[in-house]
């Protein structure tokens, strides 16, 4: 007979198995990733955080405004860059950090269930595709699975002897998670119940018991650990802005996107926000200023959008309930709702993603495991509560694949429990076997349903968007290749201003803001009389979300060469946003006169200003009608009619006294806005339609 292996040997062997599987999966993923065009491709929030980290490294570690997004990852990147790590090495570090999560889940599984369940859970977490996907990108989401698994593990360690030090660690972990996304403060709800339940000695007859007073103190230790992380951020926000903002000022914007007139259960754009990582939060604030007629701070703008969101909920609670139900349905589908990266598209570049388990494969077993745990809810209340927090967070906001990623290690632990329950049940006596077969069938049906397209998800829209994303990936790949060539040329011709200008533009394409600015300014020093250098600088500053900073270079380019139609167009856009219609009109007209092709780009903006100019003497309704008709007909010919252009045309007709034509145009705009899902704009059009009906 073989001697029974000591438990420590089992644990050591299981750790080795889990780390081996997780390591091989990550090594394979990294190899394919580095060989693909995805290596070095950044979009939206990736760009935002990378440049924020670089900005901190350059010395701006305190910042100048209230945080708009969770700051933890930006400072993580800053530390990595300060240590000399490249972006590629940062990804390697993140993948190595990701190896800790399956070990934490294994150790949690040992305490909640048994070693076999723990091993299965650790292997599932180690090989789970979306976890590796998020770990191998410059994005904050990779931290959440680790922090959530840490919260569970440390809470289970607290249960053993009720040592409050573990609760302090849990509080710190929750605080760090809040510095990624603030919704994780909701972890305090299941944690409070856990502390009270554990302190009552309800977990077992041998469990340690403490009185209510000490339980309250232990809860205070948890909150103290949280405050240890959050309070410095709150004080920092107050120091820079004079406002008490716990972490970020973007919560109101998120709620408005989740509950506003155009909410659909997913993230979506709103008409007044430009598709730029540099402008999103600022555009929300500008629109809040416009609607209130006041200059709002970041926190005041957030409160404005939060109130606007709740106004929509109160206005139509039935719609809000249906929207909540829809978000719940979307949540349980296999689809990793795309954000700044697309799991479905990434599989074409990283083949291992095709065979790694995804949400759909695990959700049926995970829900089965949760149901089985409900038989003894006290023992499993914490893990069930932490899972519920993620679901509630999505129901309150909207669906992104990364919004549920922090929950996945816990769900995979439940899936392992469900699998072991099925394994035992299918081998049990006939009565228990029936329950197991019912559970198996239910799990299979739920997983099969999960692979269907979720409600409101347009496959056609995705197929139309995918080529645009692929084009962006290829353009950035080309820009990285150009960057290497230009840097080599610059080493041979270090005083060539056009090379600096081209490098500045290449850095702009790659969204390195400060590097682009530095190279353009060096080009200006070397060629202070070159209109092309100034024009290129101004153009790239607009692209980088710095239109105010672009005015000087653009004006200088026109002084040196008045024939730059693009400079006039960009200046017209800027002055229009500033409300300086006279200057904007001058620039737009100059752009059209220099280059008739600019007419399509500038005509609608020019028409709007000719109709809405605050000085009645500066209005020109007849010219506005001709301009708007031209743009509408041109867009119609391209198969891309715009309700916004029709709105402009309707206003121009109304201003010129052509009531019937104005009504016809606004009705067509309403139909088009509704057909394209622009519900908020459709309501704005309805108000204007009623105004037109009252015209003489």
Region 510-523: what's the mean pLDDT? Answer: 93
More confident residue, 676 or 86: 86
Alpha carbon 339 to chain centroid distance?
Answer: 6
- Cβ atoms of residues 356 and 62 within 8 Å: no
pLDDT of residue 203: 63
Average pLDDT over residues 142-149: 96
Per DSSP, 183 falls in state G
pLDDT (tens digit per residue) in 46-101: 888 998 999 999 988 888 888 888 999 999 999 999 999 999 999 999 999 999 99
Taking the C-alpha atoms of residue 11 and residue 8, their distance in angstroms, rounded to an integer, is 5
CA–CA separation, 100 and 79 (whole Å): 20
User: Which candidate, 258, 262, 278, 259, places its Cα nearest to that of 270?
Assistant: 262
| Banded pLDDT at 576 (limits 50, 70, 90) | confident
Position 506 scores a pLDDT of 94
The per-residue pLDDT for 679 is 63
In the DSSP assignment, the letter for residue 203 is T
- R_g of the chain computed on alpha carbons: 29
Task: Give the pLDDT of residue 359.
Answer: 95
Q: Is the dihedral of CA 70, 74, 75, 76 positive or negative?
A: positive
Q: Under 8 Å CB-to-CB from 262, ≥6 apart: which residues?
A: 268, 270, 677, 678, 679, 680
Report d(CA 91, CA 89) in Å as an integer: 5
Return the pLDDT at 365. 96
Using CA atoms, how far apart are residues 127 and 125, in angstroms rounded to an integer?
A: 6
- The answer to whether residues 420 and 123 touch, using CB atoms and an 8 Å cutoff, is no
In whole angstroms, how far apart are CA 394 and each of 141, 183, 403, 423, 632? 15, 10, 7, 33, 39
Say what the pLDDT of residue 337 is: 85
The length of the chain is 696
**Does the CA dihedral 385-367-371-145 come out positive or negative?**
negative
pLDDT band with cut points at 50, 70 and 90 for residue 275: low
The encoded tokens of residue 108 equal 């949690």
pLDDT > 70? residue 622: yes
> Which domains does the chain possess?
7-248+332-450 (no CATH), 458-555 (1.25.40.10), 562-619 (no CATH), 621-696 (1.25.40)
Q: Are 33 and 135 in contact (CB under 8 A)?
A: no
The answer to whether the beta carbons of residues 243 and 66 sit under 8 Å apart is yes
Q: Does residue 120 have a pLDDT over 80? A: yes
Residue-wise pLDDT for 169-187, tens only, equals 999 999 999 999 999 999 9
> C-alpha distances in angstroms, 433 versus 116, 266, 269, 422?
21, 41, 50, 9
pLDDT in tens, 541-573: 998 888 899 999 999 999 999 988 889 989 998
- Of the candidates 112, 111, 176, the one whose C-alpha atom is nearest the C-alpha of residue 148 is 176
Q: How far apart are CA 108 and CA 102, in angstroms?
A: 10
State which H helix or E strand residue 356 sits in: none
State residue 353's pLDDT score.
94
pLDDT higher than 70, residue 461:
no
- Give the separation between CA 184 and CA 383, rounded to whole angstroms: 14
Q: What is the pLDDT of residues 469-507, one digit of tens each?
A: 888 888 888 999 999 999 999 999 999 999 999 999 999
Contact between residue 80 and residue 93 where contact means Cβ atoms under 8 Å apart: yes
Taking the CB of residue 579, how many other CB atoms lie within 10 A of it? 9
Q: Does an H or E element contain 22, and which?
A: helix 7-34
* Percentage of the chain modeled with pLDDT above 70: 95
Could you read off the pLDDT of 409-460 as tens digits, one per residue?
A: 999 999 999 999 999 888 877 667 888 899 999 999 999 999 998 877 766 6
Please give the sequence-ordered ranges of beta strands (E in DSSP) within 625-674, or none if there are none: none
Cβ partners under 8 Å of residue 601, min gap 6: 569, 591
Task: State residue 170's pLDDT score.
Answer: 97
185 or 342, higher pLDDT: 185
Token digits for 275? 């598709």
- pLDDT band per the 50, 70, 90 thresholds, residue 202: low
Spatial separation of the C-alpha atoms in residues 494 and 387, rounded to whole Å: 57
Widest distance between CA atoms in the chain: 104
Residue 399's DSSP bridge partners are: 266
* Residue 511 vs residue 377, higher pLDDT: 511
Distance (Å, whole) CA 600 – CA 620: 18
More confident residue, 627 or 678: 627
* CA distance linking residue 544 with residue 663, whole number of Å: 40
**d(Cα 530, Cα 524) in Å, to the nearest integer?**
8
Reported in sequence order, the residue ranges of 139-199 that DSSP labels E, i.e. its strands, are none
In the predicted model, what is the mean pLDDT of the chain? 88
Calpha distance 166→156 (Å, rounded): 9
The number of beta carbons lying within 10 Å of the beta carbon of residue 259 is 23
- Phi, psi angles (nearest 5°) of residue 36: -105, 165
pLDDT at 1 over 50: no
pLDDT at 463: 64
Q: What is the pLDDT of residue 207?
A: 67
Buried b (16+ CB within 10 A) or exposed e, 88-111: eebbeebbeebbebbbbbbbbbbe
Question: CA 476 to CA 43: how far, in whole Å?
Answer: 10
- Strand partners for 266: 399
Mean pLDDT along residues 667-693: 77
């Amino acid at each position: 007979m073989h001697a029974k292996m000591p438990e420590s040997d089992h644990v050591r062997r299981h750790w080795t198995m889990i780390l081996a599987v997780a390591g091989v999966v990550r090594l394979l993923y990294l190899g394919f990733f580095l060989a693909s065009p995805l290596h070095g491709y950044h979009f939206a929030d990736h760009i935002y955080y990378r440049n924020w980290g670089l900005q901190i490294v350059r010395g701006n570690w305190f910042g100048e405004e209230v945080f708009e997004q969770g700051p933890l990852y930006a400072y993580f990147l800053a530390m990595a860059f300060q240590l000399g790590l490249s972006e590629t090495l940062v990804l390697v570090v993140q993948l190595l950090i990701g190896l800790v999560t399956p070990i934490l889940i294994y150790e949690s599984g040992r305490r909640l269930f048994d070693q076999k369940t723990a091993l299965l859970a650790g292997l599932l977490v180690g090989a789970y595709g979306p976890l590796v996907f998020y770990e191998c990108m410059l994005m904050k989401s990779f931290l959440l699975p680790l922090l959530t698994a840490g919260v569970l593990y440390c809470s289970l360690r607290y249960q053993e002897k009720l040592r409050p030090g573990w609760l302090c660690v849990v509080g710190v972990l929750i605080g760090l998670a809040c510095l990624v996304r603030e919704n994780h403060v909701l972890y305090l709800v299941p944690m409070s119940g856990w502390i009270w339940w554990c302190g009552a000695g309800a977990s077992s007859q041998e469990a340690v018991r403490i009185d209510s007073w000490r339980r309250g103190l232990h809860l205070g230790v948890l909150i103290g650990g949280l405050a240890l992380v959050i309070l410095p951020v709150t004080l920092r926000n107050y120091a820079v802005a004079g406002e008490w903002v716990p972490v970020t000022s973007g919560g109101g914007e998120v709620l408005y996107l989740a509950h506003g007139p155009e909410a659909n259960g997913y993230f979506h754009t709103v008409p007044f926000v430009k598709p730029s990582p540099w402008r999103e939060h600022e555009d929300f604030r500008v629109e809040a200023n416009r609607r209130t007629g006041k200059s709002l701070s970041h926190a005041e703008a957030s409160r404005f959008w939060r109130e606007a969101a709740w106004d929509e909920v109160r206005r139509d609670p039935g719609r809000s309930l249906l929207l909540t139900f829809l978000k719940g349905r979307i949540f349980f589908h296999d689809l990793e709702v795309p954000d700044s990266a697309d799991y479905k598209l990434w599989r074409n570049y990283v083949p291992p993603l095709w065979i790694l388990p995804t949400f759909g494969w695990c959700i049926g077993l995970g829900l089965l495991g949760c149901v089985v745990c409900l038989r003894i809810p006290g023992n499993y209340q914490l893990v069930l509560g932490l899972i519920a927090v993620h679901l509630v967070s999505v129901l309150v906001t909207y669906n992104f694949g990364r919004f549920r990623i922090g929950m996945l290690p816990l769900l995979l632990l439940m899936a392992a429990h469900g699998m072991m329950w099925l394994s035992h049940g299918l081998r049990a006596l006939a009565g228990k076997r029936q329950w197991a077969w019912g559970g198996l069938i239910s799990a299979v049906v739920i997983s099969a349903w999960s692979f269907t397209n979720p409600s409101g998800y347009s496959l056609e829209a995705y197929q139309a968007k995918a080529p645009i994303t692929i084009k962006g990936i290829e353009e950035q790949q080309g820009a990285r290749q150009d960057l290497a060539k230009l840097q080599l040329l610059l080493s041979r011709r270090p005083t060539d201003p056009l090379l600096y200008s081209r490098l500045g533009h290449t850095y702009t394409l790659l969204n390195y803001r400060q590097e682009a600015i530095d190279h353009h300014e060096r080009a200006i020093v070397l060629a202070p009389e070159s209109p092309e250098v100034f024009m290129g600088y101004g153009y790239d500053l607009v692209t980088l979300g710095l239109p105010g900073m672009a005015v000087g270079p653009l004006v200088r380019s026109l002084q040196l060469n008045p024939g730059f139609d693009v400079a006039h167009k960009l200046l017209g856009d800027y002055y229009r946003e500033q409300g300086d219609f006279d200057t904007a009109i001058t620039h737009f007209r100059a752009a059209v006169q220099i280059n008739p092709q600019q007419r399509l780009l500038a005509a609608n903006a020019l028409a709007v200003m000719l109709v809405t100019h605050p000085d009645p003497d500066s209005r020109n309704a007849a010219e506005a009608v001709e301009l708007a008709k031209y743009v509408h007909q041109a867009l119609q010919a391209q198969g891309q009619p715009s309700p916004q252009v029709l709105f402009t045309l309707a206003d121009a007709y109304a201003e010129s006294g052509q009531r019937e034509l104005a009504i016809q145009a606004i009705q067509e705009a309403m139909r088009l806005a509704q057909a394209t899902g622009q519900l908020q704009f459709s309501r704005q059009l309805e108000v204007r339609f009623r105004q037109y009906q009252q015209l003489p």
